[in-house]
Structure 1
Amino acid sequence: MIVTFDLFSALTDSRTGGSAVFADLAARRGWDRTGVELYDHWDRHNKGLQRTARPPVTFSELSRQALARTYDEFGLGQGTVEVDLATIEESVPEWPLWPDVADGVRAVAAEHRTGILSNVDDALARTTRAARLVEPELLLTSQRLGAYKPSEQIYRRAAATVAPDRLVHVAASARDVRGALEAGITTVRLVRRGHAVDAEGPQPSLEVEEAADLPGVLQTL
């Protein structure tokens, strides 16, 4: 069995990490906005753009467009978009994992091959703390697979890459859970603060509260 994890919801507390760098940017620029406000708007625009984007448009380019839209919304101007995006991307290696991730992923890796399935460029994926916990050859990115979540294509191409009948995906966000299930991928929902299931989509039959519970659930498959 090959188990992939979503990078920026299931493994990484991206809202905490991203909000911290946005708070620092706001303080340096003298903006009357919180880091959480800026991160949440940037994240929303990122996800919106990913719904229609297709590689070779890069994750970095989508992030730049999302940042430009965020700054427009808040009237912050466009003069610092490029340099601020570089600062955000350079901060990603410091974004924290959820507290249960390191031990939980290692427990899964003791029994199964493990990887990451994420809307991200290869180079950025390799810088994350989560990348150190999985097999490098199983960093399955939008850049590598030629599609972005929530398109069913990224899940189907991931399965075709690693073995269609052996892939299990661990997801936390509503769109990731729904996308994987709609693609016919065996999916385990890992409950994370701030994420819920899409009420209009298929419902996961497998769900865990902590990453430490994953090995037991995987044994049943």
Structure 2
Amino acid sequence: MIVTFDLFSALTDTRTGASRTFAAIAAERGWDLSGETAYDTWDGHNKVLQREARPPTGFREVSRTALEAAYADLGLDPALAPSDLARLHETIPDWPLWRDVAAGVAAVAGLDRVTGVGLLSNVDDDLARLTRAHALVDPDLVLSSQRLGAFKPSAEIYTRAVDAVAPARLVHVAASARDVRGALEAGITAVRLARPGHVVDPTGPRPPHEVRDATELAAVVDGL
């Protein structure tokens, strides 16, 4: 069994990490704008564009277009988006993991039934390597949108992930509504890890397995 984790919701407190950078940028430019508002506006555009994106469009291009749209919504100059995105990416190593992540991932990796733990994420490979979560997983099991040529929540990324780890069984730990729904609709065994700000899609399938702390994952995975 291979267990993958969502990188930017299940493992990383992305909103806190990225909001700090946006707050610093806003302070330097004298913008009356909170880091959280900037992040939430950008994240909303990211989700829309990732749903529509197809190769050869990459993660960076989607993120840049989303930030340009977010700045336009906020009355800011979209021309600033490329340099601000580069600065945002530079701060990825500082984005915090959720407090339960290190122990939770280690416990899953230590199960006899689990032959590897990895990531399944909308991300470029080099950016994944900058995250604190990368050190906790097998680098050969970083199943990125760049590697798989598809974006969540498209079914393609999930079916290609299954093919990438075959003949092992894939279990995916997800937090966001679209990731939980996407994995379940693709027929993958999914465990929902509840995180602040994330809910289950009310129009999608209900996750049969759910935990509120990553340290509870090992028991659930071992019982699958």
Whether TM exceeds 0.5 here: the answer is yes
**In structure 1, what is the Cα distance between the partners aligned to 2:207 and 2:107?**
22
Query: Is 1:148 matched up with 2:151?
Result: yes
Can you list the C-alpha shifts for 1:133-170, whole angstroms capped at 9, x where unaligned?
A: 00000000001001000001100100111026510000
Percent identity among equivalent residues? 62
Whether the 8 Å contact between 1:171 and 1:177 is mirrored in structure 2 is: yes
Can you list the C-alpha shifts for 1:19-44, whole angstroms capped at 9, x where unaligned?
A: 11100010011111100000000001
Deviation at 1:199, TM superposition (A): 0.7
Query: Is 1:178 matched up with 2:181?
Result: yes
The equivalent of 2:103 in structure 1 is 103
The equivalent of 1:53 in structure 2 is 53
Whether the 8 Å contact between 1:168 and 1:185 is mirrored in structure 2 is: yes
Deviation at 1:80, TM superposition (A): 1.7
The structure 2 residue matched to 1:159, chosen from 158, 162, 179, is: 162
**In structure 1, what is the Cα distance between the partners aligned to 2:71 and 2:163?**
39
Secondary structure of 1:79's counterpart equals helix
The equivalent of 1:12 in structure 2 is 12
Deviation at 1:173, TM superposition (A): 0.3
Whether the 8 Å contact between 1:103 and 1:212 is mirrored in structure 2 is: yes
Whether the 8 Å contact between 1:55 and 1:142 is mirrored in structure 2 is: no
The structure 1 residue matched to 2:129, chosen from 126, 129, 134, is: 126
Secondary structure of 1:89's counterpart equals helix
Can you list the C-alpha shifts for 1:49-78, whole angstroms capped at 9, x where unaligned?
A: 000101221111111001100111111112
The gaps in structure 1 that reach 5 residues or longer are: none
Can you list the C-alpha shifts for 1:89-112, whole angstroms capped at 9, x where unaligned?
A: 111111000000011101111122
Whether the 8 Å contact between 2:155 and 2:186 is mirrored in structure 1 is: yes
Whether the 8 Å contact between 2:155 and 2:182 is mirrored in structure 1 is: yes
Q: Output the aligned Cα RMSD.
A: 0.9
TM-score by length of 2: 0.97
Aligned residues between the structures:
221
**In structure 2, what is the Cα distance between the partners aligned to 1:68 and 1:196?**
27
TM alignment of 1:11-90, pairs within 5 A: 11-90=11-90
CA shift in 2, pair 1:211/1:201, >3 Å: same
- List 4+ stretches of structure 1 deviating above 6 A: none
Letter in 2 for 1:214: L
TM alignment of 1:181-220, pairs within 5 A: 181-220=184-223
The equivalent of 2:3 in structure 1 is 3
